[in-house]
Amino acid sequence: MAGDEDKLADWLAAEVCPAEPNRDRLRPALLAQCRQARIEPPGPSRIERIVGTAEGLCERRFTVRTAAMLAPGAVAGWRS
């Protein structure tokens, strides 16, 4: 099941989160994908974990894509 959960989180991060970052809409999308892929839907606590993982993946991917568009010197002196 962990492999399915990783795939579901990756799918949510790539296909749904960029256009729909609302957790209340991510859950139904996850369950619909389970039905379509004929995967047994996870329980409520696992759904929350998958949604949280997907949000984190989406944010990291967005950050990497955004940083890649910046001029090399633009990031060199920046510190958080």
Q: Is the residue at 75 inside a domain?
A: no
Higher pLDDT, 78 or 17: 17
Instruction: Tell me the whole-structure pTM to 2 decimals.
Output: 0.81
Range scoring the smallest mean pLDDT among 30-34, 47-51, 62-66, 68-72: 68-72
Count of structural domains, the chain: 1
Q: Is the residue at 78 inside a domain?
A: no
Percentage helix, strand, coil, to 5, in the chain?
75, 0, 25
Q: Is the residue at 9 inside a domain?
A: yes
Domain that holds residue 61: 2-70
Q: Is the residue at 44 inside a domain?
A: yes
Q: Is the residue at 51 inside a domain?
A: yes
Residue 78 predicted with pLDDT over 80: no
Q: Is the residue at 77 inside a domain?
A: no
Distances, alpha carbon 61 to alpha carbons 12, 19, 49, 54, 64, in Å: 12, 14, 18, 10, 5
pLDDT tens, residue by residue, 12-54: 999 999 998 889 999 999 999 999 999 999 999 999 999 999 9
At residue 67, the pLDDT reads: 84
